[in-house]
Structure 1
Amino acid sequence: MLKNRFKSILALVICAGLISCTTGNDSNNSVTLVDRIPTEYTNQFYVSNRAPLAPSALIKLPVGSVKPEGFLKEYLIRQKNGLTGNLGEISAWLQKDNNAWLSKDGTGEWGWEEVPYWLKGYANIGYIMNDQRMIDESMIWLEAVLTSQRENGDFGPKLMDGDHPDFWAKMIMLYCLQSYYEYSQDERVIALMTNYFKYELTVPDDEFLEGYWQRLRGGDNLHSVLWLYNRTGDDFLLELAEKIHQNTSDWAGRDLPIDQVRNYYEVRDGGEVPDWYRDQVDWHNVNHAQAFREPAQYYLLTKNEKDLQATYENFKIIREHFGQVPGGMFGSDENARPGYADPRQGVETCGMVEQMNSDEHLLRITGDPFWADHAEEVAFNTYPAAVMPDFKSLHYITSPNMAVLDAENHSPGIANSGPFLMMNPFSSRCCQHNHAQGWPYFIENLWMATPDNGVVAAMYGASKVTVKVGDGIEVNIEETTHYPFDEEIKFTLNTEKAVEFPLYLRIPAWAKGASITVNGEVVKDNISGIGYAKISRTWINGDQVALTLPMEIQTKIWEKNSNSLSVSRGPLTYSLKIREKYFKKDSDQTAIWDSKWQKGVDTKKWPSWEIHPVTDWNYSLVVDENDPASSFEVMKGHWPKSDFPFSLEEVPIKIVAKARQIPEWQLDQYGLVGELKDLPKTSDQPVVDVTLVPMGAARLRITAFPQLLHSNN
């Protein structure tokens, strides 16, 4: 009796972490599958939604809580050494002399969106990487903002949109201030935002959010107001939230009068504006990617499911008409045009990173893993190829099908007139600065706190997270993986003493037959379907979890886009490998008209690049219709020593496929890949082997393949 009692006491001591233990309580693992993480609790350690707001579904951890490893860390290093880290020395908008963002009285030049666009990503890279030089540089701008508030509560540059105050650029700077507060807990941020929002409340409605950009993007202002409300509980902020929504464009509107559709538009061949075009208040690619979420943000205030549903409908509507393409985005170029929806149409780099940001917002608002799946789809497939591997130049428009990147004008094939396809460090001043947020924001949202004092691996990537869980114990979890290229994701927990909490793992919609082990013991297998696996357990130091997500080859037919075909494996979509030849160009000779750089900058140190194909690109894949996966062979290689898998030279996985060439498929009169609708349905060319590579590694690529009749013969 005494002997058994001693064993029980010893077990309790071990589980309390007073003696190291490696066996844990594997036999007591509880694993359940849930569609959503329950919200009836409130997280005790991280700021969640206050009443009367809808409860937080997932809770963002403070910036710096998640540290990247692997290629995610390499991305931030390349951003630091590339354009993002050096824009302060080359971009005219970031020059400090006479800069309105550094002015005490709000006057000066360079006072619009470019500074906060850049700082939004630059500062967060500094916080995440503990880079003191970047943090110090960020503080020059942040200190200027924090000391710029005027008696009426306004701050920063005195901006006007016509005859009305311009609030847009300050919406972006509020993001920068929120990240800085998460990093520093500097109470000056709370004071500035409180006084600024009191000022916004005094602005008459007929002067508030008037104009194009700010009226459409009021959801960003709304986000910051609710962020502050959750920290102060000031009731006036709820009144302001309502005011912002009422003065923001109607993103829930359907069958709108055509004069309320805000963007520039044209219809191909002078046709009629289709009725469905009036179901969105704006079709500008960045506006949509950024602002389609506003009804869901307003839902936090109203708790009206119709508001939440409007955001889902917005996402669906633009993809129904312009998004029948692989890679997660849509073919609008700058403004979506009825009649132009071929896979050669593209999206701005700004649109990509804003879509990722919206997905991350919506994941936190709804807890719906769909938004995590989509953020990964854009991040791993569309976004990487918009930027050169060294992160020193980028282009404005990126398409699923693009066979040449040059300095020519491709309008009206694409909506933009000018050299918008070539890789240029100075062109496209919005994307030049705004692309900086893409990877740091993605990294920050890999892990989130849950309402029940647990933690969720919301999106996957090699990383380390520090988070308080259970009864307040701080744990460190290391995620080791080459995902999205590999199927296995490993987690190692480090904790000073035993702690009970739920660990949630997202199960992507594409996953079939996933399995989970804890300390080598299979605790759940044959998991399929979107949702989360909840592992409830008392965790001890050294516990290990492994999630295996089998990646099967899948094909998709895009019926509304000439029955084109795309190929994916897990979260990665694959493109035809086209050998690339690079031609260096002088940036000051090939940049678009509004490019500006600081006086004395040696533009030869920042060249532009044209990329031309060396091999044929005009292929259709030959696929067995009865067993599509059997038509492909996966070839796995070594992980690159550079830790950077998004280049043709170092990509660690390829797929071999059969294909036929279509000789009639050539560049058209606009210098773009010919449209699929114009192609013949047969080819007498021989069947040959071709190589497919992950879409994100292919700066030239064919990703939506035309279908031939009897192509499997």
Structure 2
Amino acid sequence: MKANRREWLAGVAALAVCAVPFKGLAAIAPRIPLRAKPLPLTDVRLRPSDYATAVEVNIAYLLSLSPDRFLHNFRKYAGLEPKAPIYGGWESDTIAGHTLGHYITALVLGWQQTGNAECRRRADYIVDELALCQAQRKDGYIGALGRKTKDGQIVDGEQIFPEVMKGQIKSGGFDLNGSWSPLYTVHKYFAGLLDVHGAWGNAKALTVVTGLAGYFETVFAALNDAQMQELLGCEYGGLNDSYAELYARTGDARWLAVAERIYDKRVLDPLVAQEDKLSNFHANTQVPKLIGLARIHELTGKDDPGRAARFFFDRVTQHHSYVIGGNADREYFFEPDTVALHLTESTCEHCNSYNMLKLTRHLYGWQPDGALFDYYERAHLNHVMSAQNPANAGFTYMTPMMSGAPRGYSQPDEDAFWCCVGSGMESHAKHGDSIYWEGDDTLFVNLYIPSEAQWKAKGVGLTLDTEYPFKPDIKLTIDAVKQGAFSLALRIPGWANGRFGLSVNGAPVSVTPANGYAVVTRRWKKGDVVALSLPLDLRLESAPGAPDVVAVVRGPMVMAADLGPSEMDWTGVEPAMVGEDPLAAFAPIVSDRPRYRTQNIIRPANLAFVPFYSQYERRSAVYFKRFSESAWKTEEAAFLAEQARQKDLAARSIDIMHLGEMQPERDHALTSELSYPASYRGRNGRDARSGGYFEFNMKVKPGPLLLQATYWGGERKRSFDIMVDNVKLATQSLDNDKPGKFLDVDYPIPEALTKGKTSVKVRFVPHDRSSAGPVFGVRLFTAKPATAA
């Protein structure tokens, strides 16, 4: 880290030397602190804006939920009578309890952000209940997670951990001895309890989390290194982060030792070595591991964890992310710079961005750099804000980048407690937590969100008024000040290209930005007003690795073509952008929000462009393949034919199974023996070995149907049967049939197999001493009339 500090200081010095006076005003040579921390959330209050609305809607949702329903399994498995029935959805599966951890943290954040006393009361109540459950169990363990038995019953999942201690570890990546990502769930309890303790010093919360930490310290101590790595092959969330934080709170070195042992070598060693091998890894499984490494770096000063965290951040944000700041397709990282190949209906899991913003905060605290908040702002505004529907407090799981795909929001009156519902509870309780940061005598303003703040270290109170990012003007007013001399650092986004206007009390100020900031140093007094204006011009941004695939951006805000309401089927073809100077064809529409109408630039028809995040119940197009007029004439027929083919296939599809991916496999009730996830050429799949199988449900409807399976065409020789409701549909042999390409094979389904049914079971069974697949997806769709016979 010493070299980085020298480079940082040299960069700041060079920028200061290059500062040039402007019309007689002295240029300011800023000094940027090397460390920073956010102002406490309790010292920031939001003023009216979409962000404040999101917090208000979210807290109302939090208070509509029942702590006792979340606590049902905790009490039941501790031998206590539950006080309320359990919630459904994921909370009635073996991952039960994960939502309670998020819920505790969201209550803490809600109290910090708004002062809502009921949020604090509920958090303390939950801690009391968990302490009671822990006392009843007597071994330090608390938990609601379950374990599914062979007959389909769910029982107390605690019984898997004595098995693990004996070296009995069976996992396919998200399951561990019959439980769904149990250490991931345990991490949520840890995090929630630590947050309650950190917010207002609830000592009982620290006692409970210390007991829980001791229980798992014993579990891990029973494993040799190879067994520990086998265990860590199953998703464990940010458990390393929690143990590191427990060390920070208590000073007990045993917790740091556990934190450092929770280290998945397969994923993390390449990142330490500065190698991007992220493709085909489940994205949100990895991000928390790097947050944990960042915390370990902060506590120990060791270079490797910090180096891995920085490298990971750079690779994800620069080479694996979409224009809205989200990442991953169907939850998985893909090959670097292939975003344009992954514009699907299942992009941008919210949990990924929730965790990437956490990681950004760590990196920023080490070395304040405006570029980090350029990313933070992009993801916060365009992804996080799009992931909550303010009309009903619902949350998205994925935010689709495929043109015409609707967003799917959870319904608060349903038991949809996905992981992204939990992270959504947290994200929308804390929109003030990264606006202001302090470092030495500098106050950084990183997000231009209407708010009031108290910088208690300097006795400063200030108000930020703005309609940014809709309008360019930002005003900061000093409402109170005790120690008047300090620096105010205003982030100048990279997309502004150095263009901005700055004044103090109406007088222009000339400043050369340093590390992404315009810094004004003076002796401030009450009533001083700083005005900043940022250019909000339209521009095109290419998808990484695909210069001919572009999105439209205005300042930090992604603009989307409006394709109509979600409740109406979208029957158009994917729009393209044609012309030599596309932006010249965007004409503004008079509105309180930025809106544009295109003229003769979008094919097949003109469209209105609006802020992407606000398309809650509308269909959008974000990315556009770009053509010159001459190229379009050549490509139009083929382009439209391919779009029509894909649309026809989508329209005829009844059900799609993405094998090797966590949520689709659970949604389709996959069961298997001797079967494992696989990844080839950027696609995930599943195989089965001799003596095993994999089977899953698929929807059907009356009439002639086809089942399509996708294979890698270059497979070595293998053969297997495909069964539908235990009747053999086909025998498939693979033997290097289509080298270098994926292979789609269609199998007609006899109508007798589906007559009178709404679903069937599809099973892949390898022949003796062979294997089935890997299969990279199964689609069930209606046959065209011409092929019905």
Q: What TM-score bracket applies, with the shorter chain setting the length?
A: 0.5 to 0.7
Q: Which of 464, 477, 480 is residue 465 of structure 2 equivalent to?
A: 480
* Per-residue CA distance 1:410-453 (angstroms, 9 max, x = gap): xxxxxxxxxxx465444462222321111334421222222x14
For 2:234 and 2:291, the matched residues in 1 are separated by 11
1:493 alignment partner in structure 2: 478
Q: CA deviation at 1:321?
A: 6.3
SS class of match (1:145): helix
1:397 and 2:398 equivalent? yes
* Per-residue CA distance 1:62-121 (angstroms, 9 max, x = gap): 332211122221111111334x442338xxxx6167340698779977653111122222
Q: Using a 3 Å threshold, how does the CA distance of structure 1 residues 80 and 186 change in structure 2: closer, same or farther?
A: closer
* Per-residue CA distance 1:527-580 (angstroms, 9 max, x = gap): 567522332222222222222222222212226347211111110011101221
Q: Is the 8 A contact 2:293 2:309 kept in 1?
A: yes
Q: CA deviation at 1:316?
A: 4.3
1:368 and 2:369 equivalent? yes
Answer 1 or 2: which has greater strand percent.
Answer: 2
Q: Using a 3 Å threshold, how does the CA distance of structure 1 residues 494 and 218 change in structure 2: closer, same or farther?
A: farther
Q: Is the 8 A contact 1:386 1:395 kept in 2?
A: yes
1:411 alignment partner in structure 2: none
1:691 and 2:608 equivalent? yes
- Alignment-mate amino acid for residue 246 of structure 1: R
SS class of match (1:245): helix
Q: Is the 8 A contact 1:63 1:444 kept in 2?
A: yes
* Per-residue CA distance 1:248-307 (angstroms, 9 max, x = gap): 213432299xxxxxxxxxxxxxxxxxxx9x813972132234334444333324535554
Q: Using a 3 Å threshold, how does the CA distance of structure 1 residues 502 and 106 change in structure 2: closer, same or farther?
A: farther
* Within-5 A mapping of 1:25-44: 31-33=28-30, 37-39=32-34
For 2:420 and 2:354, the matched residues in 1 are separated by 9
For 2:450 and 2:573, the matched residues in 1 are separated by 34
SS class of match (1:397): coil
- Alignment-mate amino acid for residue 377 of structure 1: R
Q: Using a 3 Å threshold, how does the CA distance of structure 1 residues 183 and 310 change in structure 2: closer, same or farther?
A: closer
SS class of match (2:486): strand
For 1:422 and 1:497, the matched residues in 2 are separated by 47
- Alignment-mate amino acid for residue 245 of structure 1: E
* Per-residue CA distance 1:105-148 (angstroms, 9 max, x = gap): 79977653111122222332133222223332232213323555
Q: Is the 8 A contact 2:320 2:327 kept in 1?
A: yes
Q: Which of 417, 432, 450 is residue 443 of structure 1 equivalent to?
A: 432
Q: CA deviation at 1:501?
A: 2.5
2:553 alignment partner in structure 1: 568
Q: Using a 3 Å threshold, how does the CA distance of structure 1 residues 388 and 219 change in structure 2: closer, same or farther?
A: closer
Q: Using a 3 Å threshold, how does the CA distance of structure 1 residues 196 and 164 change in structure 2: closer, same or farther?
A: same
Q: CA deviation at 1:346?
A: 0.6
Q: How big is the alpha-carbon RMSD for the aligned residues of Structure 1 and Structure 2? A: 3.9
1:518 and 2:504 equivalent? yes
For 2:215 and 2:206, the matched residues in 1 are separated by 14
Q: Using a 3 Å threshold, how does the CA distance of structure 1 residues 289 and 580 change in structure 2: closer, same or farther?
A: farther
For 1:476 and 1:333, the matched residues in 2 are separated by 45
Q: CA deviation at 1:397?
A: 1.9
1:590 alignment partner in structure 2: none
1:48 alignment partner in structure 2: none
* Within-5 A mapping of 1:41-190: 57-70=35-48, 71-82=50-61, 84-88=62-66, 95=69, 98-100=72-74, 112-146=97-131, 154=140, 156-157=142-143, 160=158, 163-164=163-164, 167-190=183-206
For 2:435 and 2:77, the matched residues in 1 are separated by 37
Question: Which runs of 5 or more structure 2 residues have no equivalent in the other structure?
Answer: 1-23, 145-156, 166-181, 633-789
Q: CA deviation at 1:520?
A: 1.7
For 2:374 and 2:410, the matched residues in 1 are separated by 28
Q: Once superposed, which parts of structure 1, at least 4 consecutive aligned residues long, lie more than 6 Å away?
A: 27-30, 101-109, 211-219
Q: Is the 8 A contact 1:575 1:702 kept in 2?
A: yes
For 1:210 and 1:458, the matched residues in 2 are separated by 41
2:281 alignment partner in structure 1: 283
Q: Using a 3 Å threshold, how does the CA distance of structure 1 residues 543 and 567 change in structure 2: closer, same or farther?
A: same
For 1:498 and 1:467, the matched residues in 2 are separated by 11
For 1:493 and 1:689, the matched residues in 2 are separated by 46
2:258 alignment partner in structure 1: 243
SS class of match (1:489): strand
For 1:59 and 1:101, the matched residues in 2 are separated by 39
Q: Which of 623, 629, 632 is residue 710 of structure 1 equivalent to?
A: 629
Q: Is the 8 A contact 1:145 1:156 kept in 2?
A: yes
For 1:455 and 1:285, the matched residues in 2 are separated by 34
Higher relative contact order (CA 8 A, sep 6+): 1
Q: Using a 3 Å threshold, how does the CA distance of structure 1 residues 280 and 361 change in structure 2: closer, same or farther?
A: same
Q: Which of 658, 661, 666 is residue 599 of structure 2 equivalent to?
A: 658
- Alignment-mate amino acid for residue 443 of structure 1: G
Q: Using a 3 Å threshold, how does the CA distance of structure 1 residues 282 and 114 change in structure 2: closer, same or farther?
A: farther
Q: Is the 8 A contact 1:509 1:530 kept in 2?
A: no
1:270 alignment partner in structure 2: none
1:297 alignment partner in structure 2: 295
For 2:25 and 2:249, the matched residues in 1 are separated by 38
For 1:311 and 1:385, the matched residues in 2 are separated by 27
* Per-residue CA distance 1:369-395 (angstroms, 9 max, x = gap): 333221211121123333323143333
For 2:235 and 2:375, the matched residues in 1 are separated by 21
Give TM-score, length-normalised by structure 2: 0.62
* Within-5 A mapping of 1:341-360: 341-344=341-344, 345-360=346-361
Q: Using a 3 Å threshold, how does the CA distance of structure 1 residues 577 and 298 change in structure 2: closer, same or farther?
A: same
Q: CA deviation at 1:225?
A: 4.4
Q: Is the 8 A contact 2:37 2:437 kept in 1?
A: yes
**Paired residues, number:** 553
- Alignment-mate amino acid for residue 59 of structure 1: K
- Alignment-mate amino acid for residue 324 of structure 2: G
SS class of match (1:240): helix
What is the percent sequence identity of the aligned residues? 17
For 1:384 and 1:59, the matched residues in 2 are separated by 24
For 1:656 and 1:497, the matched residues in 2 are separated by 50
For 1:117 and 1:531, the matched residues in 2 are separated by 33
For 1:492 and 1:320, the matched residues in 2 are separated by 35
Q: Using a 3 Å threshold, how does the CA distance of structure 1 residues 215 and 62 change in structure 2: closer, same or farther?
A: farther
2:580 alignment partner in structure 1: 624
SS class of match (1:546): strand
Q: CA deviation at 1:322?
A: 4.5
For 1:712 and 1:656, the matched residues in 2 are separated by 24
Q: Is the 8 A contact 1:404 1:612 kept in 2?
A: no
Q: Using a 3 Å threshold, how does the CA distance of structure 1 residues 106 and 212 change in structure 2: closer, same or farther?
A: farther
For 2:28 and 2:53, the matched residues in 1 are separated by 34
For 1:61 and 1:321, the matched residues in 2 are separated by 31
Q: Which of 313, 324, 327 is residue 324 of structure 2 equivalent to?
A: 327
For 2:506 and 2:470, the matched residues in 1 are separated by 22
For 1:618 and 1:215, the matched residues in 2 are separated by 39
Q: CA deviation at 1:157?
A: 2.1
Q: Using a 3 Å threshold, how does the CA distance of structure 1 residues 361 and 145 change in structure 2: closer, same or farther?
A: farther
For 1:487 and 1:623, the matched residues in 2 are separated by 29
* Per-residue CA distance 1:172-212 (angstroms, 9 max, x = gap): 23433344344423344455555655665555445599588
SS class of match (2:66): helix
For 2:547 and 2:122, the matched residues in 1 are separated by 50
For 1:155 and 1:314, the matched residues in 2 are separated by 33
Q: Using a 3 Å threshold, how does the CA distance of structure 1 residues 428 and 617 change in structure 2: closer, same or farther?
A: farther
